[in-house]
Amino acid sequence: RVIEIKLPSTAWDGAQEGVEALLDRWQVAEKTVVTKGQVLATVVLVKASIDIEAPDNGWLENIRVKEGESFADGTVLANFTAS
């Protein structure tokens, strides 16, 4: 089962319209096996740093937003395959 990894919509609460987030760092590489709750990436939004955790046990399948790239609300950051 493939899961799209996105910044939770609640993280955008209070952000001004048109604000983008910055993918600061991928904490794991593609094809790395991870456990549920493990931090996959760190994102900076409105001067706050937010960790994105693995939604289940599995692996990070396909990184779609590279470190240092900005992205808008609803953008798929990566695909994740649950085991």
Q: What is the dihedral of CA 14, 19, 24, 26, to 10 degrees?
A: 80
pLDDT in tens, 18-60: 788 999 999 999 999 999 999 999 999 876 788 999 999 999 9
Q: Read off the pTM.
A: 0.68
Side-chain half-sphere of 22: how many Cα atoms within 13 Å?
Answer: 7
Mean pLDDT of 61-77: 95
More confident residue, 13 or 80: 80
Per-residue pLDDT for 13 more than 90? no
